[in-house]
Amino acid sequence: MTLNKQEFLISSGQRVQTLEFWLEQRWLIPTEAASGAQFSDVDVARAQLIRDLKSDLGVNDEGIDVILHLIDQLHGVRQAFASMRAALDDDSRNV
């Protein structure tokens, strides 16, 4: 499911300025469609994470930048692990 900007603002409860800042920082990269930005489930969940970091955990903007960068790398590594597991499964089937 994708949301347009208006729907995203309503569902996330964020202010326009806050979202603009997040977009500027490239913390969120929505899909650009002819009708404007489209936010998918992964964008919505990421926005929730940013909100948690900011309000629940008291992380400042600089910290969020660092945390997101590291989390993105962590997921990259997890996907690489998943790939290798798939290769090993493949091997054991072919033996």
Partner 1 sequence: MAKNPYDVLGVSSSASAAEIQKAYRKLAKKLHPDLNPGDKAAEEKFKEAAGAYDLLGDADKRKRFDNGEIDATGAERPQHHFYRDYADAGDPHAYTSGAGFADFMDSEGAFADLLRRGQRARANRRGEDLHYRLPIEFVESISGATKRITLPDGGTLEVKIPPGLVDGQVLRLKGKGAPGAGKGGPGDALIEVEVMPDRRFTRDGDNILLELPISLTEAVLGGQIRVPTPTGDVTMAVPKGSNTGTTLRLRGKGAPRRGGSAGDELVKLMIVLPKSTDPELEAFVENWAKGKEFDPREGTL
**Using rule CB under 8 A, residue 6 touches partner 1:** no
Binding mask 45-64 for partner 1 (x = CB under 8 A): xx-xx--x---xxx------
Number of neighbours of residue 43 by Cβ within 10 angstroms: 21
**Using rule CB under 8 A, residue 66 touches partner 1:** no
**Using rule CB under 8 A, residue 10 touches partner 1:** no
**Using rule CB under 8 A, residue 73 touches partner 1:** yes
Per residue, the 3-state secondary structure of 44-93, as one string, reads HHHHHHHHHHHHHCCCCHHHHHHHHHHHHHHHHHHHHHHHHHHHHHHHHH
For partner 1, the binding residues (CB under 8 A) are 16, 20, 24, 26, 29-34, 38, 40-42, 44-46, 48-49, 52, 56-58, 67-69, 71-80, 82-90
